[in-house]
Structure 1
């Protein structure tokens, strides 16, 4: 069920599994303030619906902002997520290793307490969020 849609993001929520899905778009045409606003809207919906599981697919996303600014946006997003009752978060990896490194740096600097795993496949990510994927040994 679509709970929010704009020119930048669509939030698709499945109440049966309590998973909110967002397919992060190619945001080269958007400015950093628009990206920050979209992330605030995402956090507001997580709070409003008391969502416990989040899946972000960033596999096709590209971002045309410097790595340091990207990391600051991610840290702000992570800090805001820590103010919710989110229990698990899964990400579909982007092919951009620099961006992935910035995400990991931000996670470590924030000491992000929410369990976060990255995947290359959305089916595995859904399984992990639903608790049906075995943890690695």
Structure 2
């Protein structure tokens, strides 16, 4: 069920599995304050619905934010997630190695307490979030 939708993000929540899904769009046309606001909305919904599992699909997203500025945004997002009751975060990785490196740096610097794994496909990510073993093809 869609619990929030804007021009930037759509939050799709499945109460049966307690998984919130967000597909991160191509955000080249958005400014950093808009991206930060979208992340605040995401965290607010995680808190409001007491969501324990989050799946972020970012494989198609591209972002025109300098590395250091991106790291600041990710740092703030990570801190906010740690101040929620979120337990598991699955990410579908981006093809942008700089962004993936910054995410890993922030994860280490924050001592990120939410269980987090990165995947190449949605099926495996969902299996991990649900606590089931993904079948290998």
- The residue number in structure 1 matching 2:9 is 9
Q: What are the ranges of 5 or more consecutive residues in structure 2 without an aligned counterpart?
A: none
SS at structure 2 position matched to 1:70? helix
Deviation at 1:111? Answer: 0.5
Q: 1:66 Cα shift?
A: 0.1
Q: TM-score, normalised by structure 2?
A: 0.97
Instruction: Give the aligned partner of residue 95 of structure 1.
Output: 95
Partner of 2:118: 118
Q: How does 1:36-51 map to 2 (within 5 A)?
A: 36-51=36-51
User: Aligned partners of 1:43 and 1:31: how far apart in 2?
Assistant: 19
Q: Point out 4+ residue stretches in structure 1 off by more than 6 angstroms.
A: none
Q: Give 1:133 deviation, angstroms.
A: 2.2
Residue in structure 1 matched with residue 19 of structure 2 by the alignment: 19
Which whole-Å CA distance do the structure 2 matches of 1:7 and 1:106 have between them? 27
| Cα distance between partner residues in 2 of 1:89 and 1:99 | 17
Match of 2:53 in 1: 53
For structure 1, list consecutive stretches of 5 or more residues without a partner in the other structure.
Answer: none
Q: Residue in 1 aligned with 2:129? A: 129
> Alpha-carbon deviations, 1:19-60, whole Å to 9, x = none?
000000000000000000000000000000000000000000
Count of residue pairs the alignment pairs up: 134
Give, in whole Å, the separation in 2 of the partners of 1:131 and 1:65: 34
**Map of 1:70 onto structure 2:** 70
